[in-house]
Amino acid sequence: MFFVVSIELKTACDFHGHLCPDLVIGYRACKLAEKILGGERIKHDGLVIVAYNSTSAIDAIQTLTGCTVGNRALQIIDWGKHKYVFIFESSGEGIEISLRDQDFLSSEEYNALEEKMNCNPSTTEDVTLYKKMIDERVNRLLSATDDEIFSYRMVKLQSVRREVITGLVRCERCGDMVLRSHMTRASGKTICYECFHKETGMMENN
């Protein structure tokens, strides 16, 4: 199946490696945020994005907005949700965008085939059917309206700023050099999050 796509989506596709439903969701979320918040404002007013998944959508977001994990303007909290918050750093104002329930994204046939392909060697028929299902999903996501795909609301947060990368210190448990912001105290020692998890079974969040 062939798709007529925008230059922006083509660029995201080239960066990611292929066109897939999650990439389209990230692209559509960015375009909706741009429409509501203003394209020029997004480019110049210090945007910070929080994404609640680590899917292919992240590549579209980084490509379209310039907000990346590396420049600390993209924060990922992987709850497995297609939910995105686009916030202006200076004012805390922005938009929260969430994927609506889409029957075609959670069909039993698709889920069964995906599980089969993940657990067993795939046949040619499996791959052909899977590709057909992917193309159908992409087509529906590209042709649907914003309101059909997403729900959204305007938000205002009290404090939004990019994480400042701090100096390095040595973990007193494993000896690795770690960002100072990613250390915690346990058993009287200053240790890294990895050692904290090994020692307590709990996850520490910065």
pLDDT: is 61 or 102 the higher one? 61
Please state the domain count of the chain. Answer: 2
For residue 192, the domain's CATH number is 3.30.60
Residue 143 sits in the same domain as residue 180: no
Same domain? 131 vs 180: no
pLDDT at 130: 84
Q: Letter for the amino acid at 205?
A: N
Q: What is the pLDDT of residue 102?
A: 84
Number of Cβ within 10 Å of residue 34's Cβ equals 18
What pTM, to 2 d.p., does this model score?
0.82
CA–CA distances in Å: residue 196 to residues 45, 57, 168, 191: 38, 31, 17, 7
Q: Is the pLDDT of residue 125 over 60?
A: yes
119, 186: one domain: no
